[in-house]
Chain A
Amino acid sequence: MTALLEARSVTKVFGGGLFDRTKTVALEDFSMTIDGDSPSITAVVGESGSGKTTLARILLGVTSPTEGSVLYKGKDLRKLSKADSRGFLSDVQVIFQDPFEVYNPFYKVDHVLTTPIEYMNLAKSNAEKWQLIEQALETVGLRPEETLGRYPHQLSGGQRQRVMVARALILKPRMILADEPVSMIDASLRATVLGSLQRIKEEFGISIVYITHDLTTAYQIGDNIIVLYRGSVAEAGNVDLVVQKPSHPYTRLLVGSIPVPNPDHLWAAEAPPALPNRKGSHKSCKFADRCPAAMEKCLQQTPPLYQTDPYRAAACFLYEDAPILTNEKMDNVFQANMPVASISH
């Protein structure tokens, strides 16, 4: 079995060269496999600067990795034949953060839906084309008669984002990469967009990589989660385990900082001290300078991933008794086809 999309020991460094000081490692030795056959939602969570958008761009082939490679059906993304490249474009779809910028304001929203059909020759006739479009819109909970023929500014952010999900669906992709799809949408409409994502995984068997800064929505729709910190995986595994019982001190800090919408469940009294983002030696654990549990060892060595549970791994020396999991094997802690609670629409 060949994986649909595979990142192999990918590292991305920006800058560098003459002035070493400005070198930024955006993503370090990252491996991940998206298997097109068993659909799942993998949430990639991180704060700004964690490398999550770099990861998205690398998986899409928009940015080339400095080291390592991204493979589509076993072939390097940079060396795809014309036919493979077309296959990649229809198999791997993307939904961007800003549902305002992706539209050309001079065209009706129909334009973003008809273009891929025409480009990929998906419909034999005009009637078939509109049938495809209407089906896709209905799947994401939009009424075609209320959506088609309108200009982007006449739709709300949530509607526009759902048109984007519909556009991705038209191409019958095997995976969708969603980069912060709901961060610019109001709470009352957010649930409907997330619900459409979850439904297309279940109904169409499409795998989703959900990139976000928001642990709460990651927990709600994800099966598996990867927590990134400054370009490295801090913790990965089953989403319930990681969010409900975080192992890595960074994940604990993140989970503890979520403003829970419950006035009886307030933040713990004392927030950890805000330390300046000083850069430790390049070998130290990246989180050591902020970590309440940091030991001498943490400043000397980079912790590998330790498999703490069957379905979880954490890169922290607190768990050094657990077996080491090499970065390439991170996916071993992921479960495919997990039953997930569904969101009502």
Chain B
Amino acid sequence: MSSQFPENVREQKSIEGNVSAAAGSSVTANGQKPDVLRLENLSVYYDTARGPVHAVEDVSFSLRAKERFGLAGESGSGKSSMALTIMRLIKPPARVVSGSIWLENTNLLSLPESKIKELRLAQIALIAQGSMNSLNPVMRIRNQMALALSDHGIKLTKSELDEKVTSLLAKVGLTPQVANMFPHELSGGMKQRVIIAMAISLSPKVIIADEPTSALDVVVQRQVMETLKNAQSEIGASVVLVGHDMGLMAQFVQRMGIMYAGRLMEVSPVGEIFKQPRHPYTQRLISSLPSTETKGNFIGIPGLPPSLLDVPTGCVFHPRCPLAVDRCRVEVPKLRELQKDLWVACHLAS
């Protein structure tokens, strides 16, 4: 298990030196909130018979305290692989090729499995895609919530447990009666809120929410997202929302990263992404979004995302980019800070 993670990541970091942890990597130096989570030059490949699939390539970004950060991309852009890697849940054939993931001062990739188990849920919790279907169908909600606590060595008497479960359920807007119910007695939205209650039960510093509302109707989706927002601000956690729904990103996050073919194209505050996107891909992604505000103004992006087995040289977006010049075909653009807080991986952006 541990062999899939490089042992020498600490050394790597000191060698590279010029790590470009996107946006605010210098802790509190410029009055910003300190970073809770920091990814540095992370690459994750899947080994296949036809060669390695470059699912995540050289990704760096950081998550500030109490921040809601979005990680958006289309299918196959590497966003879910990244979420799983942060949780150290990525399994072969996937392997971490390089990079490090710092949760405050701990590199998650160099920790032994036993330590990671302690950190999960307690420090960093995951709300996985379709996780509402992961509830045990033959166990009452209370007992499932108690399991999460007892697994982390928290021993409670029956009345203490009842109190804890009631208060957690209240935080996600559910009545205490839900504790006595079985999953099949709950609607999809209620189940997803039980999952959120479990995710916040140990007040983690970071919550990774990977498409937390993908199977829910819009009305319920809005309720679940608002529940997550309230719970997050109550326990003071940071959230990484992983997803493809740009509308949901606009509603929920403060800052976001745009992924394309395993790479980060742009990391900017959400207002900038939607109103003045800097990267040609982001610009086209934004204009492909239909809206109810104006009619008939959305345009698809011509061409297709590249195969991750055979990634184009230079910028991964250049085959679809109308602005591409010769340099884009040979040189990989680095994510660079265009202005304060605006990070773009494009040779032409200025």
What residues of chain A have their CB less than 8 Å away from a CB belonging to chain B?
47-48, 156-159, 186-192, 194-195, 213, 215-217, 219-220, 240, 243-244, 253-255, 257-267, 271, 274, 276-277, 340-345
Contacts and interface: CB of A to CB of B under 8 A. Distances in A.
Contacts of B26: none
Contacts of B218: 47, 213, 215, 254, 257-259
B247 A260 contact: yes
Contacts of B217: 47-48, 213
A260 B299 CA distance: 17
B287 to A, nearest CB: 9
Interface string B44-63: 00000000000000000000
Contact of A261 (B187, B271, B274, B301): B274
Contacts of A265: 293
B244 A187 contact: yes
Interface stretch (B90-98, B220-228, B232-240): B220-228
B284 interface: yes
Interface residues of B, number: 44
B296 A259 contact: no
A47 B226 CA distance: 19
Contacts of A189: 300-301, 304
A267 B293 CA distance: 14
Contacts of B250: 259-263
Contacts, number: 128
A217 B289 CA distance: 10
Interface of B: 74-75, 173, 187, 189-190, 217-223, 225-226, 244-251, 270-271, 274, 284-286, 288-293, 295-301, 304-305
Nearest to A250: B219
B223 A259 contact: no
17 contacts: A156-B305, A187-B74, A189-B304, A253-B219, A257-B219, A258-B292, A259-B225, A259-B247, A259-B251, A260-B250, A260-B291, A261-B250, A262-B291, A271-B223, A271-B226, A340-B295, A341-B295
A219 B286 CA distance: 18
The 4 tightest CB contacts between A and B, nearest first, are: A341-B296, A259-B247, A191-B300, A47-B217
Contacts of B296: 220, 340-343
